[in-house]
Amino acid sequence: MPALDPRDRLQRFVLRARRVLAHSLVRDDLDLLNEVARGTFKIAVETNRETGESTHRLKIQLPPEEAFESLAARLRPFTIGKESVYWSSVLDALEKLLSKETLASTVDIQSLRDYWSEVVEGSKVAQIYYFMTDNGTLTDVELADRWLNSDSLHTEPIKSAIGQDTTLNERYRAAAGVWSRIGACMENTYCLIVYLVNEGLLHLDASVFTEPVVADSEIDQPTKVYCTPVGAAPMPTSMDELDFSQWRQVHEDPEVLARVGPYATAVRGTDAVQAQPLE
């Protein structure tokens, strides 16, 4: 398979980044994601003045797991080496497309590589904290991996003793932080690319900034609907099979139109509908 053109790779990155930025959590709860990325937490201390006894509670606000799971899924291609938008390959492509002058004066590629590497590569060094029990220690990155592979996108069993000491809440807490930091890194890279394009230092197809990246939840488009009484003609699977002596546009037969039932099939932009007799 031929190597992917650097410009094409960056354009794919832009499309995927826009899809991530269009996610509801990014649109509506960006402040919360930033807090989670920074590892923000609160400690509540209650003291009984009579006994002197105190209790401590850890409090962390996280996004709903169901919504965050889809955000992590949108971010994941940036972390997989075989994907066209893998972060290292994207930075290689960016470096190839920029002039030496731009690289020297405007873009610090090495710092950007270090930033990505810090949030994506290496699971044995904690980004924010360690999880410790009598059975050992896990980094927050290792916890996040277990959430992704055992709770979220996959169902790998957790076999290690220290892994079995973790709870779903603990694994998700770590994952929320790790993937929020990956998202922040992606956004910074996207903003850099947008800046370079706007300054005329990088040339990409303008359509990648306007092409739809999220499917509509409602479909309303021109079409043609054909109908026939049930059993009068076989249901076509292509326009070549549509017998116009048997099928006619639904508006041409008010009686049939009134009896149109739930049976419909899309044929190259044209709907063929069989009439369902009323009970």
User: Which pLDDT score, from 0 to 100, does residue 227 have?
Assistant: 80
Listed residue (202, 191, 199, 200) closest to 20, CA to CA: 191
CA neighbours within 13 Å on the CB side: how many for 249? 5
Percent of the chain at pLDDT above 90? 72
Could you tell me the pLDDT band of residue 108, with boundaries at 50, 70 and 90? very high
Q: Which of 86-95, 111-120, 220-229 has the lowest mean pLDDT?
A: 220-229
Q: How far apart are CA 159 and CA 162, in angstroms?
A: 9
Taking only Cα atoms into account, the Rg of the chain, rounded to an integer number of angstroms, comes to: 27
Listed residue (164, 161, 170) closest to 135, CA to CA: 161
Q: Rounded to two decimals, what is the model's pTM?
A: 0.85
8 A C-beta contact, residue 78 and residue 88: no
Q: How far apart are CA 137 and CA 126, in angstroms?
A: 11
Structural tokens at position 254: 């008010």
Span 149-163, average pLDDT: 95
State which amino acid sits at residue 260: V
Q: What is the pLDDT of residues 49-88, one digit of tens each?
A: 888 899 999 999 999 999 999 999 999 999 999 999 999 9
Angle of the 6-21 helix axis to the 65-75 helix axis, nearest 10: 170
Q: What is the pLDDT of residues 209-255, one digit of tens each?
A: 999 999 999 998 898 888 877 788 888 888 888 888 888 888 787 77
